[in-house]
Chain A
Amino acid sequence: MYDINHIYEANSVEEAIQRRIEQPQALIISGGSDILIGIRAGKLAGCDLISLYMIDELRGVSLDEDGTIRIGSLTSFASVTKSPVIQKYVNVLGEAADKVGGPQIRNIGTIGGNTCNGVTSADTASTLMAYDAIIELTGAEGKRLVPIEKFYLGAKKTDIRADEIQTAVLIRPESYRGYHGYYYKYAMRSAMDIATSGCSVNVRLSEDKKRIEDARICYGVAGPIPLRTRSAEQAAYGQPVSRDTVEAFAAGALKDVNPRTSWRATKEFRIQIQGELARRCLTEAINRAGGIWA
């Protein structure tokens, strides 16, 4: 039995916003794979909930006319992975979503929940940030678009206003066209785990496939929120596809990461892994882009 004081079931975005205004103390629940754990542990016992689960309009992946990929916030990880749009344009996001927990969690957990709970280890968050995704929030005043890097305010803190819910995650065509990516989830076991560190890299190569025109890298668990390491990206811009570039990229990444020691892993260990992940992810992203190595 779960100790829930009241649950408000919203059937539309408008109703959810109305509930947000009427019940400011209530938490938002969609799949429940985080909230229910908090209730069971007693931390959220006796809470009020606003459930978005019945709002089907927030489910599904589509392509807008301008080429923007629109992922409804209630889309489950499994649906993200299986989406033909995702597979065609940002396959790496589907691969990242497929690394979450196990099949049951991937069927219930949502991409909106994964970003809104504001944790650094979220498997989809680093890839979304590496693609400069945009978070769509809907409130009483209408829609508001926030770049994902600005959406994360701090550990477990995101930029959702009191009357808002997250309604979609958007990826603009200029962010994904011509890019190929790779996500590496580094964890203590092959499934049912939270990343010790994750790394998502995507690249756009020159026409002759010998030069890196653009590279983006984002880590999970390298800081309190998913972290873009710009020094690595700068080290790769315009550089030839070569082992030296890969090394420079990894060295750049390590200038920017700031992991901490906890009982789960030491800072030194995370640095070892993060340097190696930069190498492997960039190498694989280049290979997927058909890069020709010097």
Chain B
Amino acid sequence: MEVGKSFKRVDAFDKVTGRAKYADDLCPKNAYVSRILHSTIAHGRVIRIDTAEAAQIDGVVKVLTCFDVPDRPFPTAGHPWNTDPGHQDVADRKLLNEHVRYYGDDIAVVIAEDTVAADRAIRALTVEYEAYPFVLDPIESAKEGAPLIHGERQNNNILAHSSLRIGNYAEAIKEPGLIKVEGWYHTPTVQHSHIENHICFAYQEQGQRVTVCSSTQIPHIVRRVTAQALGWPWGKVRIIKPYIGGGFGNKQDALYEPLCAWLTTQVGGHPVKLDVSREETFVNNRVRHAMHAHITSWMRPDGTFAARKLEVWSDQGAYASHGHSVAAKGMGAFPQLYPCDNVETDAWTVYTNKPTGGAMRGYGIPQAMFQNESHIEDIVTALNLDPIAFRRKNSMPVGYFDSFSKNELYEDSFNQCLDKAIEKIDYDRKRARYRHQTGPVRRGIGAALFWYNTAVWPISIETSSCRMIMNQDGSIQLITGETEIGQGCDTVFAQMAADTIGLRLEDVHVFTMQDTDVTPYGSGAYASRQTYIGGFSIRQTGQLLKEKILKHAHTLTRMPADLLDIIDGTIVRKSDNRALMTVGELATRTLYDMERSEHLAAESTYAVKSNAYSFGVTIAEVEVDIPLCQAKVLNMVNVHDCGTLINPQLAEAQVHGGMSMALGFGLYEELLADPKTGRILNDNLLDYKLPTTMDHPDLLVDFVENAEPTSPFGTKALGEPPTCSPAPAIRNAILQATGVAINTLPLNPHRLFEEFTKAGIFRTEQEVISPPSPGRSAEISRVTINA
């Protein structure tokens, strides 16, 4: 059995030796380069772009503006296509936009022989705008009278609103003796910050078909979007996806592939490269939706819920992209994580004049878990309850069934994960020790659960295809539409294929590149779906191939097929375990058989109609230096029930990566917009404070392996879940350490200074200079630090 073992990644050697090919490695050396001109106003209309000077610059091939592009709005979200027009993504942007909707909108392109010429031309362009009022806050933007961002399509800025009603909230809150706990919870705009910026190049052959090689997570979807954006038949576009340097959801969108495909057609099909800078990655790709949530819980004194209400505003930014799906997913977790008989939820996704919100690892759940798990901590603090006991008692119980997704909680995942996490980080002893601290440097420990599910059925189609081609030596090429984006799926797919057929791992050659001309359809890397969904089609296709092999084995060995099996690449007679021939011998004899020559191959599609919960917990231990306003994570553990581990070491690495991103979300990262102009202030890795390795504690990881009954390999989501619960766990640990409940991320020194000042837990230096007034000194005297 190859599943369950920690094999080295199948791409490990190529990646560490630098031989793995990425988009830029494949770009023809004679390709033109292109640079995009971005708007310097947040909202308005381009009246005129003067291109005369730019066009004269040596090395400039062509200058194209928003007045040249096809008048054809298109959707960009990396969702599978839906044949029902009511469920299709919103088409609200053009290749270049005359109506600019955020500071940095794409308004013109220079194609040149090199980047120096292109940059000089960009600087030589002059733009005349008609400026409109702009709005940066989604709650303001949702109000009547806010500047209309997509007036062409709608007469307000609310992209979508959805709600959910269970029981009768209004009646339930009348129950006598209830305690109301409410709070606002804010999560910031953050960016994926993958290592390889988005890059693509395109060329046109025979004046007809256009090939785009792109750093994308979703080649088949990008083909469809590119064709739609240009009004072409879908088969005219070919997308090639080589190795990519991370995506985390940003590349689960058609970013610049449609524009690049159009550019090559404007220069006679010559290859054109579009290599996005880090600054553009921050501003002109996608970001995580900032969310502002208000939660009210009506509690009985015994610590049970009477009624709960959630209202959330999600900051969409300028264009729809993944739109309301993100807020809707986050909202969906609310009634499930802590079931209650009376629930009201409402979510609004609202356009603002800011960078566009798209998919990002966790897809609304990191925001939702910060809201939910911070609020739960506020409840237990207000009611003086034990935070772990409360979660054990009130979180989703075993046997819970969701009638929409048909998901069922088969095992007691939350309690099992809590048990392991508590033991691993020595929670009970530390929690007790950190009670009643004084002094400037204090420690705390806190927990948070997370809710997640796997893949997107039944909201969208879930389908995956696989092709296996056998070589004469009995090895196979494994081809799927599911993409390796660094997470290791090529390796786990190889393990699955080997086990299904009866081969050794080294007999499986994964064809890592997706080329929409030859790769069967798969939706791609998102929704933590590929191991679960890909597993179905790999199992089915492997069984088809195995059947064929055994049919030939019957012919060649004269034994009945049902007495035969394939073990480690050998045809074995099960009745006496005798090795009859190798699969290699069989494949050679079958292909070169003068009478019945057959090329052994199999291909199939599996449409998956199930989904699976994937739950877990984080416990974080922090040290807070109050006078220096610094919170440092000393220890952090994530425990996941993601089913059977296909490759334990890869699974652990996946969790490390997710926890690291969450550390950034919790303590460091926030994309800041200048309130006066809408310009993004920190569009670079110096000012955007992605944590470094020096800022990480050892990340502890453990698993509860309850095999998922719906999956042929017992697996379920792990890609996104690790990033969902660390931020609230850190927040809750800071609450224990300092007594200050902070409801706005990130918990960086600026925020801690603000909140500690409000809470009065330190003397501010201003007060050191001018002695505090008697009225305030009484307050200050309660604090024992900083003496």
Q: Are A190 and B695 neighbours in the complex by a CB distance under 8 Å? A: yes
* Nearest-neighbor residue (CB-CB) of B440 within chain A: A276
The docked-state distance in angstroms from the alpha carbon of A254 to that of B768 is 9
Q: How far is the CB of B771 from chain A (nearest CB, A)?
A: 11
Q: Are A189 and B628 neighbours in the complex by a CB distance under 8 Å? A: no
Q: Which residues of B contact A264 (CB under 8 A)?
A: 687
> Interface stretch among A159-167, A216-224, A266-274?
A266-274
Of residues 245 through 294 on chain A, the ones whose CB sits less than 8 Å from some CB of chain B are 247, 250-251, 254-255, 263-266, 268-269, 271-276
Q: Are A268 and B766 neighbours in the complex by a CB distance under 8 Å? A: yes
Q: Which residues of B contact A269 (CB under 8 A)?
A: 629, 749-750, 753-754
B104-129 vs A, CB cutoff 8 Å, 1 = contact: the mask equals: 00000000001110011001000000
Q: Given A189-B695, A269-B629, A263–B672 Cβ distance below 8 Å?
A: yes
> Interface stretch among A59-67, A145-153, A191-199, A200-208?
A191-199
The docked-state distance in angstroms from the alpha carbon of A255 to that of B768 is 11
Q: Are B765 and A190 neighbours in the complex by a CB distance under 8 Å? A: no
Q: Are A271 and B766 neighbours in the complex by a CB distance under 8 Å? A: yes
Q: Which residues of B contact A102 (CB under 8 A)?
A: 692
Of residues 679 through 701 on chain B, the ones whose CB sits less than 8 Å from some CB of chain A are 681, 685-687, 689-695
Q: Which residues of A contact B690 (CB under 8 A)?
A: 189
Q: Which of A102, A254, A271, A275 is most buried by chain B, counting CB atoms within 10 A of its CB?
A: A275
The docked-state distance in angstroms from the alpha carbon of A254 to that of B765 is 8
* Nearest-neighbor residue (CB-CB) of B754 within chain A: A269
* Nearest-neighbor residue (CB-CB) of B681 within chain A: A263
The docked-state distance in angstroms from the alpha carbon of A284 to that of B115 is 50
Q: Given A190-B695, A251-B769, A276–B672 Cβ distance below 8 Å?
A: no
Question: Is A186 part of the binding interface, using a Cβ–Cβ cutoff of 8 Å?
Answer: yes
Q: Given A188-B668, A193-B686, A263-B672, A1–B114 Cβ distance below 8 Å?
A: yes
The docked-state distance in angstroms from the alpha carbon of A45 to that of B119 is 9
Q: Given A189-B694, A272-B765, A265–B689 Cβ distance below 8 Å?
A: no
Question: Is A3 part of the binding interface, using a Cβ–Cβ cutoff of 8 Å?
Answer: yes
The docked-state distance in angstroms from the alpha carbon of A276 to that of B756 is 15
The docked-state distance in angstroms from the alpha carbon of A191 to that of B691 is 9
Question: Is A42 part of the binding interface, using a Cβ–Cβ cutoff of 8 Å?
Answer: yes
Question: Is B674 part of the binding interface, using a Cβ–Cβ cutoff of 8 Å?
Answer: yes
Question: Is B748 part of the binding interface, using a Cβ–Cβ cutoff of 8 Å?
Answer: yes
B740-784 vs A, CB cutoff 8 Å, 1 = contact: the mask equals: 000000001110011001000010111011000000000000000
Q: Which residues of A contact B114 (CB under 8 A)?
A: 1
Q: Which of A42, A189, A196, A247 is most buried by chain B, counting CB atoms within 10 A of its CB?
A: A189
Question: Is B4 part of the binding interface, using a Cβ–Cβ cutoff of 8 Å?
Answer: no
Q: How far is the CB of B487 from chain A (nearest CB, A)?
A: 25
Q: Are A192 and B692 neighbours in the complex by a CB distance under 8 Å? A: yes
Q: How far is the CB of B359 from chain A (nearest CB, A)?
A: 26
How many B residues touch A, CB cutoff 8 Å? 35
How many A residues touch B, CB cutoff 8 Å? 33
* Nearest-neighbor residue (CB-CB) of B277 within chain A: A40
A150-190 vs B, CB cutoff 8 Å, 1 = contact: the mask equals: 00000000000000000000000000000000000010111
Q: Given A42-B119, A192-B692, A263-B672, A186–B628 Cβ distance below 8 Å?
A: yes
The docked-state distance in angstroms from the alpha carbon of A102 to that of B694 is 11
Q: How far is the CB of A232 from chain B (nearest CB, A)?
A: 12
Q: How far is the CB of B197 from chain A (nearest CB, A)?
A: 14
Q: Are B689 and A3 neighbours in the complex by a CB distance under 8 Å? A: no
Q: How far is the CB of A42 from chain B (nearest CB, A)?
A: 6
Cβ-defined partner of A265 (8 Å) among B694, B750, B762, B769: B750
Q: Which residues of A contact B691 (CB under 8 A)?
A: 189
Cβ-defined partner of A191 (8 Å) among B115, B119, B687, B692: B692
Q: Are A1 and B629 neighbours in the complex by a CB distance under 8 Å? A: no
Question: Is B627 part of the binding interface, using a Cβ–Cβ cutoff of 8 Å?
Answer: yes
Q: Given A42-B119, A189-B668, A189-B694, A272–B627 Cβ distance below 8 Å?
A: yes
The docked-state distance in angstroms from the alpha carbon of A95 to that of B705 is 47
The docked-state distance in angstroms from the alpha carbon of A45 to that of B57 is 15
Q: Which of B674, B690, B691 is most buried by chain A, counting CB atoms within 10 A of its CB?
A: B691
Q: Which residues of A contact B674 (CB under 8 A)?
A: 263
Q: Which residues of A contact B686 (CB under 8 A)?
A: 192-194
Cβ-defined partner of A255 (8 Å) among B115, B753, B769: B769
Q: Given A188-B748, A193-B686, A254-B769, A273–B629 Cβ distance below 8 Å?
A: yes
The docked-state distance in angstroms from the alpha carbon of A42 to that of B37 is 14
Cβ-defined partner of A189 (8 Å) among B689, B757, B766: B689
Q: Which residues of A contact B115 (CB under 8 A)?
A: 1
Q: Which residues of B contact A273 (CB under 8 A)?
A: 628-629, 749
The docked-state distance in angstroms from the alpha carbon of A46 to that of B117 is 11
Q: Which residues of B contact A46 (CB under 8 A)?
A: 120
Q: Given A42-B123, A45-B123, A255-B769, A268–B692 Cβ distance below 8 Å?
A: no
Q: How far is the CB of B548 from chain A (nearest CB, A)?
A: 54
Q: How far is the CB of A1 from chain B (nearest CB, A)?
A: 5
Q: Which residues of B contact A275 (CB under 8 A)?
A: 765, 768
Q: Are B753 and A189 neighbours in the complex by a CB distance under 8 Å? A: no
Q: Which residues of A contact B629 (CB under 8 A)?
A: 269, 272-273
The docked-state distance in angstroms from the alpha carbon of A250 to that of B768 is 9
Q: How far is the CB of A238 from chain B (nearest CB, A)?
A: 22
Q: Which residues of A contact B116 (CB under 8 A)?
A: 1-3
The docked-state distance in angstroms from the alpha carbon of A276 to that of B765 is 8
Q: Are A190 and B694 neighbours in the complex by a CB distance under 8 Å? A: yes
Of residues 73 through 88 on chain B, the ones whose CB sits less than 8 Å from some CB of chain A are none
The docked-state distance in angstroms from the alpha carbon of A196 to that of B768 is 21
Q: Which residues of A contact B748 (CB under 8 A)?
A: 188
Q: How far is the CB of B262 from chain A (nearest CB, A)?
A: 25
Q: Which residues of A contact B687 (CB under 8 A)?
A: 264
Q: Are B119 and A3 neighbours in the complex by a CB distance under 8 Å? A: yes
Q: How far is the CB of B677 from chain A (nearest CB, A)?
A: 12
B693-714 vs A, CB cutoff 8 Å, 1 = contact: the mask equals: 1110000000000000000000
A92-120 vs B, CB cutoff 8 Å, 1 = contact: the mask equals: 00000000001000000000000000000
* Nearest-neighbor residue (CB-CB) of A266 within chain B: B750
A13-41 vs B, CB cutoff 8 Å, 1 = contact: the mask equals: 00000000000000000000000000000
Q: How far is the CB of B764 from chain A (nearest CB, A)?
A: 6
The docked-state distance in angstroms from the alpha carbon of A63 to that of B694 is 34
Q: Which residues of B contact A196 (CB under 8 A)?
A: 749
The docked-state distance in angstroms from the alpha carbon of A194 to that of B687 is 9
The docked-state distance in angstroms from the alpha carbon of A255 to that of B765 is 11
* Nearest-neighbor residue (CB-CB) of B694 within chain A: A190
The docked-state distance in angstroms from the alpha carbon of A89 to that of B112 is 55
The docked-state distance in angstroms from the alpha carbon of A155 to that of B116 is 30
Of residues 36 through 90 on chain A, the ones whose CB sits less than 8 Å from some CB of chain B are 42, 45-46
Q: How far is the CB of A183 from chain B (nearest CB, A)?
A: 15
The docked-state distance in angstroms from the alpha carbon of A193 to that of B628 is 17
Q: How far is the CB of B604 from chain A (nearest CB, A)?
A: 48
Q: Which residues of A contact B672 (CB under 8 A)?
A: 263
Using CB atoms and an 8 Å cutoff, list the residues of chain A in contact with chain B.
Answer: 1-3, 42, 45-46, 102, 186, 188-194, 196, 247, 250-251, 254-255, 263-266, 268-269, 271-276
What are the 7 tightest A-B residue pairs by CB atom distance, in nearest-first order?
A190-B694, A275-B765, A276-B627, A191-B694, A188-B689, A191-B692, A269-B753
Pull 8 A–B residue pairs with CB atoms less than 8 Å apart, ordered by A. Answer: A45-B123, A189-B690, A191-B692, A265-B750, A269-B629, A273-B749, A275-B765, A276-B627
Using A189-B668, A194-B686, A250-B768 as known contacts, list a sample of 19 further A-B pairs with CB atoms less than 8 Å apart, ordered by residue number in A: A3-B119, A42-B123, A189-B692, A190-B692, A191-B693, A191-B694, A191-B695, A196-B749, A247-B768, A250-B765, A251-B768, A263-B672, A264-B687, A266-B750, A268-B764, A268-B766, A271-B766, A272-B629, A275-B768
